[in-house]
Amino acid sequence: MLLTPDSSDLTLVTMPVAEIATDLLLLPVFDGESLDDIPGLDERAGGHISAAMTSGEFQARPFEVYLTPLTGWKSARVGLVGAGQRTEFTTERLRRVATAAALAARQRRVTRIAWLVRGDLPPAAAVQASVEGLGLASFSIDRYKSGERGGPPVAEIIIAMPGVASPDLTPAFERGRVLADSCNVARELCNEPPNVLTPRELGERAAAVGRDAGFTVEILDEKELEQRGMGLLLGVGQGSAQPPRMIVLKHTPKGKAASPHVLGLIGKGVTFDTGGISIKPADGMERMKTDMSGAAAVIGAMRAIALLDAPMQVIGVIPAAENMPGGRAIKPADVLTGAGGKTVEVINTDAEGRLILGDGLWYAKELGATHLVDVATLTGAIVIALGRVASGLFGQPSPWVDTVKRSAEVAGDRCWSMPLYDEYADQLKSEIADMINSGGRPAGACTAAMFLKEFAGGLPWAHIDIAGTAWAEESKPWQPKGPTGVAVRTLAELAFTSQSWNPGPQSGSKQ
Ligand code: BES
Ligand code: MN
Ligand code: ZN
């Protein structure tokens, strides 16, 4: 089993480019620039670089790659990687361009590369984004293949920042490496087949990552779920031969916590979603192995939070279940009772994520969390609303949601704010229970979020719907087809921002 991904050997150097010994020296190139800041490069490339720029063979469009041999320098070849307009160069663009560069090297079976950090970003931010991007490219989707495909991961990566003092950059470098590896841990989990990754196994994996990274993991089995009255999680799990679990991950800072707040991260851990009795169509159902991507994001984030020793307490809560039709499965019209006492009339067994998250959110508050964020592949409706380009962000109060949004921006996980109008609650009214679990098709992602809000106990709460972003259905230069590791970096980033949080409306709230 993979705990730490087979991440490449990364080093940070500040020597002149001519002295970097590697097989392929890669560098981002901006639109319209002539590379004068790297004296001798064009000459060492026999004039091919200026020729390619003049002829238009290389135009520096984002992710375009041009390779040519070098003579007289310690690098055998140079690769120009298009980075677009210099004025539009952000950490997000840099991260993606670096991934594209390393993936291009990998496709060509080049295993030793150097990446020259260029552009106008602050050096530490540029180093961190570069390391993240390059590290993300070392992920492999082929562990169940007996042959090898996609090229071996690049084994040796040099990050070059000639002339910049390296001690200042070391923390940024380490941070980038931990974040990339933690994303890859999450991606690995999403990729696992559902016969391997059952709720029990998900707990084992979380425990193994915890042992490695230094956070604690406690797992509630079905008897303990029963004792705590977690009827929503038990209900979803009861149609399966694989029993459900509640997995609890805890990070305590090594020194004194810098903040009285406790961050609660809740991840949807449906290890396979058939829909249950409200069964899904066969076509495409295999993708529902990724319905634990929220859980994977929480495990990946906790890994980074522990390794980087975030200065606040963080509790991860993962309700894990397999949603199956079976003789014991819940039926439309069943009424379940959550651990906090709320009753839910299940009208669609395929709206299972919100049920298990209901118990998860409640439990995070019970364990002492003061601020909540849940991450879930919750609705097909968010894919209709935002496509595969951004996750949907919901929550309240708005300063808390804005804090989460800012962390997402820094992390390069795109989120778009979605509304939670009171009227959406009308779609969840039940004749016999507190709520029904599906508001039907109109505003499906919003009514799902509205359902979750009822379980946040009045705490500041944000919900990230990653149904469209957890798995790339098409390969892009910076992102191969497959699991993306979305939200790992957002959640990790958030655990470093607690000094600026306000307490939310707590006492006096109706919930
Ligand atoms: N796991 C699905 C949502 C999903 C859809 C994830 C596409 C990834 C890609 C969720 O459990 C689900 O089935 N949601 C239903 C809710 C409906 C029954 C109210 C949906 O979106 O159709
Ligand atoms: Mn479902
Ligand atoms: Zn689901």
Q: Of 161, 179, 204, at which residue does a domain stop?
A: 161
Pairing of strands 482-483, 471-472: antiparallel
136 Cβ neighbours under 8 A, 6+ residues apart: 95, 99, 180, 183, 184, 485
Are residue 278 and residue 371 in the same domain, yes or no?
yes
- Separation of 437 CA from ligand 2 center, angstroms? 11
> What does the pLDDT look like over 409-418, one tens digit per residue?
999 999 999 9
The residue whose CA is least distant from atom 7 of ligand 1 is 380
Structural domain includes residue 124? yes
Q: Of 120, 145, 161, at which residue does a domain stop?
A: 161
Atom of ligand 1 nearest to the CA of 439: 19
Mutate to test the pocket of ligand 1, among 232, 268, 352, 379 (most ligand atoms within 8 A of CB): 379
Atom of ligand 1 nearest to the CA of 470: 8
Q: Which two tokens stand for residue 151?
A: 């090229």
Atom of ligand 1 nearest to the CA of 275: 13
- Separation of 47 CA from ligand 1 center, angstroms? 55
Structural domain includes residue 108? yes
Q: Of 117, 141, 161, at which residue does a domain stop?
A: 161
Counting Cα atoms < 13 Å in the Cβ hemisphere of 467 gives 22
CA 70 – CA 25 distance, rounded (Å): 9
The residue whose CA is least distant from atom 16 of ligand 1 is 351
Closest CA to 271 of 285, 299, 286, 291: 291
Ligand found nearest the CA of 382: 1
CA 96 – CA 483 distance, rounded (Å): 16
Atom of ligand 1 nearest to the CA of 290: 8
Are residue 342 and residue 463 in the same domain, yes or no?
yes
Structural domain includes residue 22? yes
CA distances (Å), origin 194, targets 143, 198, 269, 447, 491: 15, 6, 12, 28, 25
> What does the pLDDT look like over 197-206, one tens digit per residue?
999 999 999 9
Residue 341 is classified by DSSP as S
Are residue 242 and residue 323 in the same domain, yes or no?
yes
Which residues are part of the catalytic machinery? Answer: 280, 354
204 Cβ neighbours under 8 A, 6+ residues apart: none
Structural domain includes residue 511? no
- Separation of 336 CA from ligand 3 center, angstroms? 18
- Vertex 249, ends 235 and 297: CA angle to 5°? 80
Report the number of distinct structural domains present in the chain: 2
Specify the pLDDT at position 510: 40
Structural domain includes residue 326? yes
Are residue 134 and residue 222 in the same domain, yes or no?
no
Atom of ligand 1 nearest to the CA of 291: 1
Does the model's pTM come out above 0.85? yes
Closest CA to 130 of 168, 162, 106, 158: 158
**Cβ atoms 153, 6 nearer than 8 A:** yes
- Separation of 298 CA from ligand 1 center, angstroms? 20
> What does the pLDDT look like over 341-364, one tens digit per residue?
999 999 999 999 999 999 999 999
Question: What residues form DSSP beta bridges with 323?
Answer: 273
Mutate to test the pocket of ligand 1, among 236, 324, 330, 378 (most ligand atoms within 8 A of CB): 378
Q: Which two tokens stand for residue 354?
A: 């919100």
Mutate to test the pocket of ligand 1, among 289, 345, 350 (most ligand atoms within 8 A of CB): 350
Are residue 214 and residue 144 in the same domain, yes or no?
no
Around ion ligand 2, residues with a beta carbon closer than 5 Å are: 273, 350, 352
Inter-helix orientation angle 123-136/91-107, to 10°: 40
pLDDT in tens, the chain (511 residues): 444 455 678 999 999 999 999 999 999 999 999 999 999 999 999 999 999 999 999 999 999 999 999 999 999 999 999 999 999 999 999 999 999 999 999 999 999 999 999 999 999 999 999 999 999 999 988 888 887 666 778 889 999 999 887 787 999 999 999 999 999 999 999 999 999 999 999 999 999 999 999 999 999 999 999 999 999 999 999 999 999 999 999 999 999 888 899 999 999 999 999 999 999 999 999 999 999 999 999 999 999 999 999 999 999 999 999 999 999 999 999 999 999 999 999 999 999 999 999 999 999 999 999 999 999 999 999 999 999 999 999 999 999 999 999 999 999 999 999 999 999 999 999 999 999 999 999 999 999 999 999 999 999 999 999 999 999 999 999 999 999 999 999 999 999 999 889 765 554 344 4
Are residue 157 and residue 236 in the same domain, yes or no?
no
- Vertex 398, ends 394 and 401: CA angle to 5°? 50
- Separation of 273 CA from ligand 1 center, angstroms? 9
**Cβ atoms 255, 229 nearer than 8 A:** no
Q: Which residues line ligand 1 (CB under 6 A)?
A: 273, 291, 348, 350-353, 377-381, 383, 438, 444, 467
Query: Residue 372 maps to which CATH number?
Result: 3.40.630.10
Structural domain includes residue 2? no
Specify the pLDDT at position 144: 86
Ligand found nearest the CA of 380: 1
Inter-helix orientation angle 199-213/293-307, to 10°: 10
Dihedral angle sign, alpha carbons of residues 234, 366, 213, 115:
positive
306 Cβ neighbours under 8 A, 6+ residues apart: 210, 213, 214, 215, 251
The residue whose CA is least distant from atom 3 of ligand 1 is 379
Are residue 136 and residue 196 in the same domain, yes or no?
no
Are residue 155 and residue 276 in the same domain, yes or no?
no
Are residue 206 and residue 145 in the same domain, yes or no?
no
Q: Which two tokens stand for residue 301?
A: 């984030």
Q: Which three-class secondary structure state does DSSP give residue 472?
A: strand
- Separation of 350 CA from ligand 1 center, angstroms? 7
234 Cβ neighbours under 8 A, 6+ residues apart: 222, 225, 226, 244
Phi, psi of 131 (to 5 degrees): -65, -40
Atom of ligand 1 nearest to the CA of 348: 18
Would you call 149 exposed, middle or buried from its count of C-beta atoms within 10 A (0-12, 13-18, 19+)?
exposed
Which amino acid, one-letter code, is at 201?
Answer: E
Q: Which two tokens stand for residue 48?
A: 């091919």
Closest CA to 413 of 477, 479, 358, 498: 479
- Separation of 466 CA from ligand 3 center, angstroms? 11
Are residue 196 and residue 127 in the same domain, yes or no?
no
Structural domain includes residue 182? no
Which domain covers residue 80, as residue numbers?
Answer: 9-161
Q: Which two tokens stand for residue 89?
A: 């160069």
Specify the pLDDT at position 148: 64
CA-CA-CA-CA dihedral for 393, 395, 398, 404, to nearest 10 = -50
Are residue 53 and residue 96 in the same domain, yes or no?
yes
Closest CA to 3 of 137, 189, 180, 135: 189
Structural domain includes residue 177? no
Strands (E), 252-351: 262-267, 269-273, 313-323, 335-337, 343-345
Query: Residue 152 maps to which CATH number?
Result: 3.40.220.10
Closest CA to 306 of 249, 261, 259, 256: 249
Are residue 455 and residue 377 in the same domain, yes or no?
yes
